Chain A
Amino acid sequence: GAVVSQHPSRVICKSGTSVKIECRSLDFQATTMFWYRQFPKQSLMLMATSNEGSKATYEQGVEKDKFLINHASLTLSTLTVTSAHPEDSSFYICSASSGGLPYEQYFGPGTRLTVT
């Protein structure tokens, strides 16, 4: 149980375009989902926290207009990187929580974004 999927697993896009990443909880309802970014050989950095049906809370330094997060249902959250640039190339990981303790998160497999 507690499986989280992400789609796509890898994506390459041209600079200036937008790309959407999906995060799904497959066997539980996720009241809260988290989006992290991880650069090579670095740690996970929390970008934002989203609760179903409400606006996401972004961490300091994360541009909300560039990283659009939607959590429209209890099983799906999306992250859209708008007007992507090469410096946005990274590994994006989502996690989901069923509403218990906030640190009880189930992680997705990640999405490798490459902006050319």
Chain B
Amino acid sequence: GESVGLHLPTLSVQEGDNSIINCAYSNSASDYFIWYKQESGKGPQFIIDIRSNMDKRQGQRVTVLLNKTVKHLSLQIAATQPGDSAVYFCAEGGGKLIFGQGTTLQVKP
């Protein structure tokens, strides 16, 4: 069945370091992938998206990489800041969004 999953439930990084959050998906027909940030008690916040016909997209301090060969998606955050601490979800877009299980990013000062 369809599933979008994450490799690690928690990632702890030092402030200023780069963070890499990974995601695996199983539906090769998905044509759109999105990363969301969710702070405690709040709704998801859009970070960046990528279409299936691309392999890389950059935003402000963030980069998403898509490897369709191994069905892998990653989110790179440069110079991680304390405000980046949150749960990060990847989601697979087709007719509807399918969310992965989430990775908690902890930024140590």
A interface residues, tally (CB under 8 Å):
22
Q: Is A78 an interface residue (CB 8 A)?
A: no
Do A93 and B96 form a contact, CB below 8 Å, given A43-B89, A44-B89, A103-B91? no
Q: Mark B34-45, 1 if CB is under 8 A from A, else 0.
A: 101000011111
Find out whether the CB atom of A46 lies under 8 angstroms from the CB atom of B96. yes
Contact of A107 among B41, B45, B95, B100 (CB under 8 A): B45
**Which residues 43-76 of B have a CB within 8 angstroms of A?**
43-46, 49
Find out whether the CB atom of B101 lies under 8 angstroms from the CB atom of A93. no
B interface residues, tally (CB under 8 Å):
22
**Which residues 61-105 of B have a CB within 8 angstroms of A?**
89, 91, 93-102
Find out whether the CB atom of B95 lies under 8 angstroms from the CB atom of A102. yes
B residues near A (Cβ < 8 Å) are 32, 34, 36, 41-46, 49, 89, 91, 93-102
Q: How many A-B residue pairs have CB under 8 A?
A: 52
List 8 A–B pairs whose Cβ atoms lie within 8 Å, in order of A's numbering. Answer: A43-B102, A49-B96, A93-B43, A95-B43, A102-B96, A107-B36, A107-B44, A108-B43
Find out whether the CB atom of B97 lies under 8 angstroms from the CB atom of A105. yes
A residues near B (Cβ < 8 Å) are 4, 6, 34, 42-46, 49, 91, 93, 95, 101-103, 105-110, 112
Find out whether the CB atom of B102 lies under 8 angstroms from the CB atom of A34. no
Looking at A42, A45, A105, A110, which has the most chain B CB atoms within 10 Å of its CB? A105
Find out whether the CB atom of A103 lies under 8 angstroms from the CB atom of B34. yes
Do A103 and B93 form a contact, CB below 8 Å, given A42-B101, A43-B102? yes
Q: Whole-angstrom distance from the CB of B29 to the nearest CB of chain A?
A: 14
Find out whether the CB atom of A101 lies under 8 angstroms from the CB atom of B44. no
